[in-house]
Homo-oligomer: A and B are copies of this chain.
Amino acid sequence: MPNGRRQILSFLLPGDVLTGSLFQGPLQFSVKALTAIQISTMKREEIDARVAVNLRILWAAAECCADEARAADETIAALGQFSAEERIAHLFLQLMKRIASRNVIRDERYRLPLRQQHIADAVGLTPVHVSRVLSSFRERRVADLSNGVLEVFDLRELQRLGALN
């Protein structure tokens, strides 16, 4: 951003689709990999050709885009109305839900290759304050994020803090 700060709009998980450049011009944001990745791309012409054959593809892409919009709305609500603790709890819940829908989770432990700086840029706080909140979570036995692993001890409390409805 112009002021030198960074806003992380969302975290892509393995298998996620990036529709950003499908329905509009160039991306308004950049994408950065936190892990080793594999990407599949599709050229416009190929998409047009496939859509011509099977209309459902276009519906699916649109739905995917709509899901992005819905997630963005949730983020807006969290950033606008939540305190630091609640925002971080909300981010955790979002990521957990998405990871859980892909993998089988055992023991409420989630692999998250995130630095505190990433969390800070995603929820609009300073890394220093993120550290404080995480320490508090740890101390209160709510959750613990260290060494790239998020461990949830008290899911209820986390939901009480960061759930939107």
Contact = CB atoms under 8 A, between A and B. Distances in A.
Interface of A: 1-3, 5-7, 9, 19-20, 22-24, 28-29, 51, 55, 58-59, 61-63, 65-70, 72-77, 79-81, 121-124, 163-165
Contacts of A7: 76-77, 80-81
A165 B80 contact: no
Number of copies: 2
Given A63-B24, A66-B19, A76-B7, A124 B2 contact: no
Sort A-B residue pairs by CB-CB distance and give the 7 closest, nearest first: A80-B124, A72-B72, A23-B66, A79-B79, A62-B62, A7-B77, A69-B69
A80 B123 contact: yes
A24 B75 contact: no
Contact of A165 (B2, B51, B58, B81): B2
Contact of A68 (B22, B51, B69): B69
A54 B6 CA distance: 41
Given A7-B77, A62-B62, A80-B124, 5 more contacts: A7-B81, A24-B67, A24-B70, A29-B73, A72-B76
A73 B3 contact: no
A81 B9 contact: no
Given A29-B73, A76-B76, A23 B63 contact: yes
A65 B165 contact: no
A69 B65 contact: yes
A34 to B, nearest CB: 19
B81 A1 contact: yes
A70 B68 CA distance: 10
